[in-house]
Amino acid sequence: MLLKTNKLMKAFGGLKAINKVDFELPANEIRGIIGPNGSGKSTFFNLVSGVYEPDPGSYIEFDGNDITNEPPHKVGELGLARTFQLLRLYQDMSVINNVMSGYHTLVPYSFIDAVTGRKKIWDQEKTIKEEMMELLSFVGLADYAELNASELSGGQRRLLVLARAIAGKPKLLMLDEPAAGLSPVNVDNLMKILMRLKEKYGLTLIIIEHILKVVMDTCSKVTVLDHGEKIAEGTPSQIKDDNAVIEAYLGKKMDDEEMRKALAV
């Protein structure tokens, strides 16, 4: 298993944001996580990536390492990358610098090398930059490399966040609503790029998404959360017909009679 959580728990005061969630994810899978707002999806991400500290009794394992109480940068070093719902781009840095800072853990030279400014650093920096430019052209942002990230459009920002997360060559990439606020055409484009990236880098993906088409089309398995608890897990078609999921998230399919009644009111 690439990622495993056991009795994962997090309470904010009296609210159990995540309640005893057991989660297992084998390598090379694309997993979707769905659930209504406030069901604990983002909290789950924050716990796994170390932004929040889980409550005692929880256990998180990533790639054979116990990461339960590791700080976020340690988790990142191990090869777990994530994006944020609110993007959290480095607004005041150029696009290329955004991506290059995602490469941080792989930089081959030491701090002492950097301070003394030896020549080999500039060669290595050049190689890094070329590699990152390649990544940028892969997602279609190469022409904007020298612009400030704040000058990009909404869709381009989402692509940039994706590129930054992939720059560190992670094993597992967790995407928090990658397609939120995108037009249907852009959503398709983003998913196409995502699938190509997955193939190229051999990524394992976890995707939180409210656009169900994305989840149903791309994910091989879906986990459903509600009120901090895992209420269902299975293939997209299984999830679609699961009564608990319909009740909590998808909503009931109305027949004609019910529809007429609902509209009349």
Q: Find the length of the chain.
A: 265
Residues 139-158 that bind another protein (CB under 8 A): 143-144, 146-147, 151
Contacts to another protein from residues 163-182, by CB under 8 A: 164-165, 167-168
Q: Are 21 and 225 in contact (CB under 8 A)?
A: yes
Residue 62 within binding range of another protein, rule CB under 8 A: no
> Which segment (20-28, 43-51, 152-160, 211-219) binds another protein by CB under 8 A?
43-51
Q: Which residue in this structure is represented by tokens 């989660």?
A: 23
User: Between residues 95 and 182, which has the closer beta carbon with respect to another protein?
Assistant: 95
Smallest CA-to-CA distance from 163 within 214, 222, 89 is with: 89
Asked whether 128 and 100 are in contact (CB, 8 A), the reply is yes
Distances (CA, A) of 228 to 11, 34, 41, 147, 215: 9, 12, 8, 41, 20
Q: Based on CB atoms, which residue is closest to another protein, 74 or 260?
A: 74
Render 93-142 in DSSP notation, one character per residue.
Answer: SBHHHHHHHHTGGG--S-HHHHHHT-HHHHHHHHHHHHHHHHHHHHHT-G
* φ, ψ dihedrals at 242, nearest 5°: -75, 125
Determine if 107 is a binding residue for another protein (CB under 8 A): yes
Q: Which residue has the tokens 């990358």?
A: 81
Q: How many residues bind another protein (CB under 8 A)?
A: 47
Interacting residue with another protein among 13, 37, 119, 255 (CB under 8 A): 119
User: Least Å distance between CB 105 and another protein?
Assistant: 4
Instruction: Candidates 63, 121, 211, 229: give the one binding another protein (CB under 8 A).
Output: 121
CB of 115 to another protein, least distance (A): 6
Supply the DSSP symbol for 152: S
Site for another protein contains 77 (CB under 8 A):
yes
Backbone φ and ψ of 81, nearest 5°? -110, 155
Is residue 12 a contact residue for another protein (CB under 8 A)?
Answer: no
- Looking at residue 245, its amino acid is V
Name the site residues for another protein (rule: CB under 8 A): 49-51, 71-73, 76-77, 81-82, 84, 88-94, 97, 100-105, 107, 109, 111, 113-117, 119, 121-122, 125, 128, 143-144, 146-147, 151, 164-165, 167-168
